[in-house]
Amino acid sequence: MAKKLFKNYNYSFDANERKLLTTFCKQILNQVSSDDKLYREAKVFQSIFDKLKEGNEEIKLTKDESTKLSLYLKENSKNIEKQIDKSWFIKKWLLKSMHKQYTSILVNHFSD
């Protein structure tokens, strides 16, 4: 199968996905903003956050924004899986719901 030459980086997130991604971007911005070495990530996630806050039906991301967002979502999903294995019932129940939402976003919008 031939590889696509151009990829579409336009995404239409529903209200729940938009809210989850804005919260995700806020968390990353809080963690990254204090470190000067991670200035590029802070700039990328600030741009994604601004685009999500605009409230447009369809969000157009750049290639860099799309790849960083998918990479960080995958890493966060892996981290949540590790926490699920170590946690007790109530925390496991909450984390499974969060993990399901992240994997849903990854499968629906960022699968290659």
Q: Is residue 4 part of a domain?
A: no
Report pLDDT digits (tens) over 38-83.
899 999 999 999 999 998 889 999 999 999 999 999 999 999 999 9
Q: For the whole prediction, is pTM greater than 0.75? A: yes
55: left (phi over 0), alpha (psi -120 to 50) or beta: left
**Does residue 94 belong to any structural domain of this protein?**
yes
Residue 17 located in a structural domain = yes
23 occurs within a structural domain: yes
Per the structure, the count of domains in the chain is 1
1 domain residue, yes or no: no
pLDDT in tens, 11-23: 999 999 999 999 9
Q: Which two tokens stand for residue 13?
A: 């997130």
SS3 state at 81: helix
How many other β-carbons are positioned within 10 Å of the β-carbon of residue 2? 4
- Measure the CA–CA gap between 45 and 108, rounded to whole angstroms: 20
For residue 81, the enclosing domain spans 12-109
Domain-embedded: residue 5: no
Produce one character per residue of 47-67: b if its CB has 16 or more CB atoms within 10 Å, e if not: bbbebbeeeeeebebeeebbe
In a domain, 65, yes or no: yes
Helices 89-109 & 15-32 angle (0-180, nearest 10): 110
